[in-house]
Structure 1
Amino acid sequence: MNLCWWSDKDTDISCCILKCNVNPRPSYKIPQKRQSCKECNDDVLIAKALENYSDKWKKQETNFKKFRSLLSNKCHAVSKAVVTQNNTPLGSNVIYDGERRKPLHVTQALFNILAKEQPFGNATWESCAVVGNGGILANSSCGEEINSAQFVIRCNLPPLDKGYEKDVGNKTNLVTANPSILHEKYSGLMERRRPFVESLRPYGQALLLLPAFSYGHNTPVSLRAFYTLEDFGSNSPLPVFLNPDYLRRLSKFWRERGLNSVRPSTGLIVASLALEICSNVHLYGFWPFSKHPYDSQAITNHYYDNRESKKNVHSMPTEFEYLLKLHNQGVIRIHLGKCQPTHS
């Protein structure tokens, strides 16, 4: 007999589902396709998420200020999120957040290309849209609403053309780029580099946030991206480097709140950043499940492809659970489903 079990401790991520793949007595009906335990698990997680989600959202100013204060006191995004000449002086060492035993000495050449000042300054944007790449954005008609935000953050160089504008918009103030993308799409910038520059045109003069100092192998390709844009990229995004000290502080902040993933995902990093620099934070494309929350139809992993994320590194459903708590507390707003037109 194939039994599945249920543990209250495991209802958030990993559990075998009650009655999953169980057939207690012979059946002479036409065989039906059974759900796998993973499918059952997703169904339970989706049901749990929807039970805790309300689209009738109202900002709770007291909760927002309290959480923002905690985050700012621990992480200091305004002064530490980006590596600058002020927070990383000449002759100091950069400590990789993923390889702490291999510091990088700040030479004159490296110091010269660091941002002279923190790009966020002391400014606070009134409204910020943080756009994840989840398949839930497909056919959402959220592009106009996203574009209406004062500051728009995007993750990992997502496509904005080919008809995606209606669902995801095209305004961009900050976009991240994982070095793995530079290797996979542009041969690590070891060959022709102009295609890389041309592909960044849709982002205008946004900040390009590179995690150059997470691991030692990220540094050379990130520096090549910087020099490529310096050489070829007039009117292109401005490359800046994500500060490993900020990442360490941010990881500790979320661990202290019970989130024990190996590393925060890019989505969680930029959502956390937005909470420090924006008065009103709206999340789009944050839905880590393979079925749509409202019609249960299958959706792709991203709005532009179905490539899987690194599940052994990031725990997307668990991260979403924590973000959902902030939604329910009126701290951030998570948008699921279709967006309403802002004007006719």
Structure 2
Amino acid sequence: MVHSMFVVVVIVTIYVVVMLLRYKKLKPLNVALLVLVILLVYQLYGLTASNDNGYRIEKPKGNSEQRIAHILLEAAYCGINEDSLQTIERSLLCQTCRIFNQEQRTIFRYQLRLQPNSSSDMLVMAKDNVYFNESIQFQKSPLVGKHFKSCSVVGNSGILQNSDCGAEIDKSDYIFRCNMAPIKPFGKDAGYRMHFTTMNPSLLKNRYNTFDRIQNISDFREDTSRQTGLIWIPVFGDNYWTRTCFRAYHHHRTTNSKIVFGHPEHFKAIWRFWEKRGLQTWPSTGFYLATTALDLCDEVHLFGFWPFHKRYYPEPHDVKYHYYEHLPWAKKHNMTSEFQLLWQLHMDGILKIHIGRCQQ
């Protein structure tokens, strides 16, 4: 849109100059004003272009690894090319090939914060960021003013199985986890520590039967007693689930953890940020947390992020959808597009994706 405006202004300016010359009414002041208008429009075009050329789903112009990654992810809907998949896996397994780039991280964080309501201060609903406050327990969000040196975002991909990454994950200053994944039986691979855990409303139906029976409530209380830190529920993400989410809040009893409500405006902000860059569906929980962590943390490490059915190293084998259970692969989110964006962030040194075994 701005590009078209710039072209129109240039054409009109040329026309006006020609007319003024024709009727001999061209004065220095007129010329100066016209030049000023052109410069202002050009500056506006440059600023808008610089803000819009960040991380997009498009053909990379970088090295061969980036081009191969693009080919792989383009082919995700019509069959994955095994050679491409092996190449991208080899690239991610080389952890010494990519180091954190502070300059790129700062630029990305600046671009993210240009999106209204995208600050991590809005991640949790509190009395100071909502219009109503009867059911809000915090005067201000527990993450306001927080900043961490290193963070781990633990996804639930089966690639975590037999990874021995638990100790590496637990080294982080702050740890995000997705959807109440069980901890104790899988700690060697997925770690034990937790600070922020999401609970999708669908889990309340699938695992706790929307609390229709006393046993469901008992199971919920037992599971949440094993959690520590914040349990984040998107209460107002969908009106269909609001009542069930409030029931979860009222059934929560343990002091080990606190249930907090996700702010819908923050989720919308993250969604809009990536929608402008080519993501067509709403973000998955893991992708949402990864983006949020980039606002909160200097170094962001992703574990359990692998949206493909297979991997090839150290030997070819299938990958489960979740490391802790057998489920069919879901197509609710466009995870291949999300992975492409995360791949670009990895290549730029903004975050690190870990898919291999961690050294002891």
Task: Give the TM-score category using the shorter length.
Answer: 0.7 to 0.9
From 63, 66, 82, the counterpart of 1:43: 82
Q: How far apart, in 1, do the equivalents of 2:329 and 2:267 lie?
A: 20
In proportion to residue count, which structure has more helix? 2
Structure 2 residues not aligned, in runs of 5+:
1-67
Letter in 2 for 1:210: I
Identity among equivalent positions (%) equals 30
Structure-2 residue corresponding to 1:126? 149
Answering whether residue 112 of structure 2 is matched by residue 71 of structure 1, we say yes
Structure-1 residue corresponding to 2:35? none
Structure-1 residue corresponding to 2:199? 177
Q: Helix, strand or coil: the match of 1:338? A: coil
Structure 1 position 317, deviation (Å): 1.3
Structure-1 residue corresponding to 2:208? 186
Structure 1 residues not aligned, in runs of 5+:
1-7, 18-36, 91-109
Letter in 2 for 1:70: Q
Q: How many residues align?
A: 287
Summarize the alignment of residues 59-208 of structure 1 with structure 2, pairs less than 5 Å apart.
Answer: 59-74=100-115, 75-90=117-132, 111-162=134-185, 164-192=186-214, 193-204=217-228, 206-208=229-231
Answering whether residue 283 of structure 2 is matched by residue 264 of structure 1, we say yes
From 249, 252, 257, the counterpart of 2:269: 249
Structure-1 residue corresponding to 2:48? none
Q: Helix, strand or coil: the match of 1:268? A: helix
Q: How far apart, in 2, do the equivalents of 1:318 and 1:47 lie?
A: 18
Q: How far apart, in 1, do the equivalents of 2:88 and 2:245 lie?
A: 37
Give every structure 1 segment of 4 or more consecutive aligned residues whose post-TM-superposition deviation is greater than 6 Å.
none
Structure-2 residue corresponding to 1:27? none
From the CA coordinates, give the structure whose radius of gyration is larger.
2
* 43-52 or 272-281, which deviates more: 43-52
So what's the TM-score if we normalise by structure 2?
0.75
Structure 1 position 303, deviation (Å): 0.6
Q: Helix, strand or coil: the match of 1:112? A: coil
Q: Helix, strand or coil: the match of 1:113? A: coil
CA deviations on 1:97-124 (whole Å, 9 max, x unpaired) are: xxxxxxxxxxxxx623343211111110
Going from structure 1 to structure 2, the CA distance change for 1:48 and 1:244 (only over 3 Å counts) comes to farther
Contact 1:83/1:240 (<8 A) preserved: yes
Q: How far apart, in 2, do the equivalents of 1:149 and 1:16 lie?
A: 32
Contact 1:129/1:282 (<8 A) preserved: yes
Q: How far apart, in 2, do the equivalents of 1:222 and 1:117 lie?
A: 21
So what's the TM-score if we normalise by structure 1?
0.78
CA deviations on 1:122-156 (whole Å, 9 max, x unpaired) are: 11011101000010100000001111111011000
Contact 1:89/1:111 (<8 A) preserved: no
Q: How far apart, in 1, do the equivalents of 2:174 and 2:87 lie?
A: 31
Answering whether residue 247 of structure 2 is matched by residue 224 of structure 1, we say yes
Going from structure 1 to structure 2, the CA distance change for 1:243 and 1:322 (only over 3 Å counts) comes to same
Going from structure 1 to structure 2, the CA distance change for 1:252 and 1:339 (only over 3 Å counts) comes to same
CA deviations on 1:175-224 (whole Å, 9 max, x unpaired) are: 000111111111112322121011122222x1001011111012111101
Structure-2 residue corresponding to 1:285? 304
